[in-house]
Amino acid sequence: DRIYDNSFEYRVNVGPVRFAAETQLRNGGNSGTGNAFEGDVGFDYMGFSIDFLGGKIYDAVSASPLSAAQVSAANSLGLATGNGQVAGNVSDNTVFQVGARYTIGAWKLFAGYEHIDFANPNNPLAPGAFLDGGYILTNPNNANFPNDKILQTAWIGVKYSVTSTLDVTGSYYHEWQNAFAATGSANAGCSTVVSSQCSGALDAVSLVVDWRFARHMDMYAGAMWSQVQNGLANGFLQTNGTPGNTGNKANSVDPGIGLRYQF
């Protein structure tokens, strides 16, 4: 058991089965994240491992920098703007996730699925709400989800140990969301790049090589190719086609290399 300032964590193993639960309580009446509850049930057997996770998070905040218009609006409310003040979409989130791993010899296979439901908050946050890390939410948006946003993610991967010190890992990820603009609005049911509330998808493929050349040191190098389209491509500078048409896409390749020290 672990008890923190406003949270509680509990873990227990019973043979091959494990259980975990965690709660975090709201830190004041006008603050985010609010109350949060999460749980996990897992099972291990003969190289196979699987976990089922679920949670409910109230007044979750997706923060963003203040725009010029938002700075003006905050000032009109008597909230002096400065460092640490942000805007953000507020939501009550319900999440379910399942992840599995199977090990056979030098191979490790991974797969998983996650489902998140974003809904407008039952307890809207007012301007000036306190956030984790000492930030102030001067411009909360409590109505970003007129219909629930359903974001789903699936992934699969494989890791192969070439030697006892050299691993190669490849993965594929697919993410998709529904159209959640207000019923009857101009963007209702949209599937284009015109709005982040349109349906859309993300696909990504990654490959990484990891070499553990010393007891606590390893070197890694890899790259990820990703592509977003339609609603998930909204806001990207790179799009193929005219904004508002179907099939708008943006893609990128992100290489990386580094050294890591593990205690």
Alpha helix stretches (DSSP H) within the chain: 68-76
On the question of a cis peptide bond just before residue 153, with omega within 30 degrees of 0, the verdict is no
Q: Mean pLDDT across the chain, nearest whole number?
A: 89
- For 16, 50, 100, 101, 205, the CA distances from 109, given in Å and listed in that order, are 19, 12, 8, 6, 15
Beta bridge partners of 36: 24, 57
Rounded distance between C-alpha atoms, residue 35 and residue 27, angstroms: 9
**What are the sequence ranges of the domains in the chain?**
40-261
Cα 30 from chain centroid (whole Å): 24
The SS3 call for residue 133 is helix
Rounded distance between C-alpha atoms, residue 239 and residue 246, angstroms: 11
Does domain 40-261 match CATH 2.40.160? yes
Q: Is pLDDT above 90 for 246?
A: no
Q: What is the pLDDT of residues 130-182, one digit of tens each?
A: 888 888 888 899 999 999 999 999 999 999 999 999 999 999 999 999 999 99
Single pTM value for the model? 0.86
